[in-house]
Amino acid sequence: MSLFKLEKVSKIYPPYFKALHNINLRINTGDFVLLTGPTGAGKTTLLKLIYKEEIPSSGEIFFENKPYSELQHKDIVKLRQKLGIVFQDLKLFLDLTVYENIKISLVLAGKKIKNMKFYIYEFLERFNLAHKAQKKVKELSGGEQQKVGVIRALIREPKILIADEPTGNLDPQSIKEILEIFKELNKNGTTIILATHDPFILKQKIGKLIVLSRGEIVKNVEVSW
Amino acid sequence: MLRYLGKIELKRSFIQYSMLFLFFIFWNFYLLTFFFLFVNTQNFLSFYKNYLWADIVVYEKKSETIKKLTTELKNFEYVKNLKIFSPEELYQKTKFELPSALFSEEEILSFFPYVIRVYVYSVKDLYSLKKYINFLSSLNPSIKLISEKPLKIFHLGSIFSKIFYILIFVWFAFYFFFLYLINQSLNEALKDQTQTFLLLGGGAFKLKLLRNFFFISILFIACIISSLCYFSFAKYMHLIFNFFEIYPDFSKSEHLYYFLVYISFVIVLIPVITVHLSYKKYEI
């Protein structure tokens, strides 16, 4: 089933910067999409269009065959509640603690968990961050902040996971662990869209590989794993 | 969750909220003071409206002349009422002050003229009447007008009441504009937080609710402080100038009602509208 469909989508940032040009793309439920390309190729813009942080300059995006332009505010909220997003710039609440950041994400996803505190601490423990739960995010290192960003997205058990360079500040061991979690989630039915230019991840032959260059798709291949 | 968002909002926007607090104390105080001066000026004007009159002295004793003059005066639109004082009435009013031993009553009576007291509607009418009587005086020297110059404050009062409406409009427009600016500044300061919250699946309604809660609470506290300052000022003015009355007078139910309407307009309605308008640009 088609989850996201992009039809002739272009994005121009004023005055003339063409971030994306005439993109046609289809992402199905359960896909594992690896989005890659050099810096400035348009990976982040493409993801921003999918989670509707940006609006296309032309073309149309469909979610479950419904055009974005016809979605109402409440529909957009519902769509975002289904997503788990790891932002490139992390977008963490720096003045709040690790625990509070994760709790907000869980609450906004509409998850009803009996012992939320225990659940969050359990997750943090998996990433060796339980001892930093009550620390303010701004007091953490770059790698730790990145982990919090990943945990915040994963703990929602999303149907769709969008991750923009989620491993940029992480050590090889952490990258391996996160990738394993992503694979596991995908096996259980989660659609994953991962933008990266990490050679380790790209070496793994996972799902669909989309290569972007100067705002255009130059390669769109299915890789079995 | 609102608690967490509130924590961020207060931490990041302390300056803006402090500015709002101080601004409202001054804004509300000056508005109430304007209103105080306006209402008291209006009272003053309506009080003096009943005392807008001029006396026409007629030394001629012929009743025909008096009749003719009064009929003519009654025909003028600006004449509200007339009162004629005969020489006898005037004598009765002043006889105790006169040296009766020197003159007989008849002699004294012969000194007294007829006085026609003409009540008019406005200061402008008083000038029209003056013009007409001066014209009559030039034809008949036995007719004269005695009128005090209208009080300057009366003039100023009528000008002030006109200025007041413009001032109130400008003052409210200023308030609306300031609140919008504060909101814009808050939105800029909290842009990242707002975007993250929305992208994680939060609704703008909750953010607006939180902002409205902060606005209403801060304005409410500022309103209490500035109102207390105003009432002390009004009381002080009342002590110095007896004719100044304190408004609103909460012992009167309609005053209380109007004040509540004002409070809900200024503390609830305008902030809610500005919060809603300012958020439009930041909703993604």
Span A134-180, pLDDT tens digits: 999 999 998 899 999 999 999 999 999 999 998 887 888 888 888 88
Interface A–B counts its CB contacts (< 8 A) at 58
What is the rounded CA–CA span in Å between residue A59 and residue B80? 78
- pLDDT given for residue B51 in this prediction: 73
Sign of the dihedral through C-alpha A98, A100, A103, A107: negative
My answer on whether B221 and B177 are in the same domain is yes
Q: What integer pLDDT is reported at residue A197 of this predicted model?
A: 85
Closest listed residue to residue B24, CA positions, set B165, B211, B133, B182: B182
In 3D space, the residue among A225, A219, A149 whose CA is nearest the CA of residue A183 turns out to be A225
CA dist list (Å): A1 to A24, A163, B46:
17, 21, 80
Bridging pattern class, strands A2-13 and A191-195: unpaired
Kindly determine whether residue B200 and residue A77, on different chains, have CB atoms separated by under 8 Å: no
Answer whether A91 sits within 8 Å of B1, measured CB to CB.
no
User: Which of A95, A111, A151 has the highest number of chain B CBs within 10 A, making it the mutation to test binding with B?
Assistant: A95
Looking at the complex, does the CB of residue A3 fall below 8 Å from at least one CB of chain B?
Answer: no
Interface check B8 vs A, CB under 8 A: yes
Chain A nearest CA to B182, separation (Å): 22
Residue type (1 letter), B228: L
A87 touches chain B (CB under 8 A): yes
Domain limits for position B181: 2-47+153-282
Q: Which residues in chain A are closer than 8 Å to B13, comparing Cβ atoms? A: none
Any CB–CB contact under 8 A between B201 and chain A? yes
Kindly state whether residues B117 and B230 are assigned to the same domain.
no
In tens, the pLDDT along B1-58 reads 788 889 888 888 999 999 999 999 999 999 999 999 888 888 877 777 777 788 888 8
pLDDT attached to residue B48: 72
Q: What is the CATH number of the domain that holds B132?
A: 3.30.70.3040
pLDDT at B160 over 90: no
Indicate the residue of B192, B201, B203 with minimum beta-carbon distance to A91.
B192
Residue contact B8–A110, C-beta within 8 A: no
Indicate whether B179 and B220 sit together in one domain.
Answer: yes
Q: How many domains does chain B have?
A: 2
Instruction: List chain A residues with CB under 8 Å of B4.
Output: 93, 96, 100, 103-104
Contact B197 A104 (CB under 8 A): yes
Specify whether B117 is located in the same domain as B140: yes
From the list B1, B7, B200, the residue facing A80 with the nearest CB is B200
Final residue of a structural domain among B91, B115, B149: B149
Å between B7 CA and nearest CA of chain A: 8
Quote the pLDDT of residue B102. 67
Tell me if B86 sits within 8 A of B70, measured CB to CB.
no
Rg (CA), chain A: 17
B81 DSSP β-pair partners: B119
Amino acid at site A102: I
Task: Verify whether the Cβ–Cβ distance B195 to A81 is below 8 Å.
Answer: no
**Pair (B138, B119) in one structural domain:** yes
CATH 3.40.1190.20, domain A2-222, yes or no? no
Looking at the structure, do residues B170 and B275 belong to the same domain, yes or no? yes
CB-CB under 8 Å, B8 with A80:
no
Contact between A60 and A9 under an 8 Å Cβ cutoff? The reply is yes
Q: Please give the mean pLDDT across all residues of chain B.
A: 87
The total of other beta-carbon atoms located within 10 Å of residue B60's CB is 15
Q: Which of B149, B168, B192 is the last residue of a domain?
A: B149
Is the pLDDT at B231 greater than 80? The verdict is yes
Q: What is the mean pLDDT of each run of 10 residues along chain A (225 residues)?
A: 89 89 91 90 93 93 91 90 92 93 92 89 90 94 92 92 88 87 90 90 84 86 61
Is pLDDT above 80 for B210? yes
Given B149, B175, B204, the domain boundary residue is B149
Average the pLDDT over B80-106 and give the result.
Answer: 76
Instruction: Tell me how close the Cα of B202 comes to any Cα of chain A, in angstroms.
Output: 6
Are B161 and B241 within one domain?
yes
Per domain, the residue ranges of chain A are 2-222
Please tell me if residue A21 touches chain B, with a CB cutoff of 8 Å. no
Residues B8 and B121 in one domain: no
pLDDT in tens, B167-181: 999 999 999 999 999
Residues B237 and B201 in one domain: yes
The confidence score (pLDDT) of residue B66 equals 84
Question: Is B196 in contact with A91 (Cβ distance < 8 A)?
Answer: yes
Residues B92 and B208 in one domain: no
Q: What is the DSSP string of A114-142?
A: TTHHHHHHHHHHHTT-GGGTTSBGGGS-H
A93 and B1: CB-CB below 8 Å? no
Q: Is the domain of B35 the same as that of B69? A: no
DSSP state letters, B246-270: PSS-TTSHHHHHHHHHHHIIIIIIH
Q: What is the pTM of this model?
A: 0.77
CA distance A105 to B128: 79
| Residue B194 sits in the same domain as residue B258 | yes
Task: Pick from B193, B200, B208, B276 the residue to mutate for testing the A interface (most A CBs within 10 Å).
Answer: B200
- pLDDT for B125: 83
Which of A12-26, A126-140, B124-138, B264-278 is predicted least confidently?
B124-138
E strand intervals along chain B: 53-58, 79-85, 114-120, 143-146
Residue of B196, B199, B203 with shortest CB distance to A93: B196
A91 vs B199, B203, B204: nearest CB: B199
**Nearest-CB residue to A51 (from B11, B197, B199):** B199
